[in-house]
Amino acid sequence: MKILHLDSSILGEASASRVLSAAVVEELLALHPTAQVSVRDLAQTPITHLDGAIAAGFRQPGTVAEDPAVRAEHALSETLVSELLDSDVIVLGVPMYNFSIPSQLKAWLDRIAQPGRTFRYTENGPVGLSGDKAVIVASTRGGMYSSGPAQVMDHQESYLKAFFGFLGIQRVRFVRAELLTKGAELRSKSMREALDGVAVVVAGLFAN
């Protein structure tokens, strides 16, 4: 089994999503001790946001850039999509920022959504090409979005589910901690419950 572990929180040591994503990887390794883990810290080593020249590298077949810096970006796009395609389980640490995902994670998503590699359009609509993989999202939020009036403001989990579904990955699971900015007591309760739920999510990953 190959695990791809990505974190995207800007909060470093204080990050809650990093604690949860690390717990998910630890549990995966407990069940699959021979698994290989590749790690990318999207906050520490950010991926350049797409521009036309970078996107052309995978959206316009045959493009060879003259600028060596652009060629290096094209090579990075290839590395990132290959890493995804080569992995069986993708573990993402994803805080909610401004009702959505960190822009550092968006920059990664923009590199892996490649026509002909992870999806393609057909006469019958788009088809995902990413194979039989699973994504586990360690999702953290300051407020409450899994129920209540703010549910419609969730463009973090709902977006990731739709995005990976488009790439052909339907097996998207969430380990979630909410109310993290509503006092120390609620924060530690929420984190404890999320950590307690990790084993069940990991054990059931390929069950159905």
Dist. CA 201–CA 116, nearest whole Å: 31
List the one residue out of 198, 204, 145, 162 whose CA is nearest residue 17.
198
Q: Judged by CB under 6 A, does residue 6 bind ligand FMN?
A: no
Contact stretch for ligand FMN (CB under 6 A) within 9-17, 33-41, 120-128, 199-207:
9-17
**Binders in 58-117 for ligand FMN, by CB under 6 A:** 95-99
Task: Report the residue number, 74 or 141, with the smaller CB distance to ligand FMN.
Answer: 141
Dist. CA 186–CA 79, nearest whole Å: 40
Q: How many residues line the site for ligand FMN (CB under 6 A)?
A: 17
**Binders in 30-59 for ligand FMN, by CB under 6 A:** none
| Residue 74, both tokens | 């094209």
Q: What are phi and psi of 20, to 5 degrees?
A: -70, -40
Dist. CA 27–CA 109, nearest whole Å: 25
**Binders in 165-184 for ligand FMN, by CB under 6 A:** 180-181
Dist. CA 52–CA 78, nearest whole Å: 16
Task: Report the residue number, 77 or 104, with the smaller CB distance to ligand FMN.
Answer: 104
Task: Report the residue number, 51 or 196, with the smaller CB distance to ligand FMN.
Answer: 196
Q: Which residues sit at the interface with ligand FMN, rule CB under 6 A?
A: 9, 11, 15-18, 95-99, 140-143, 180-181
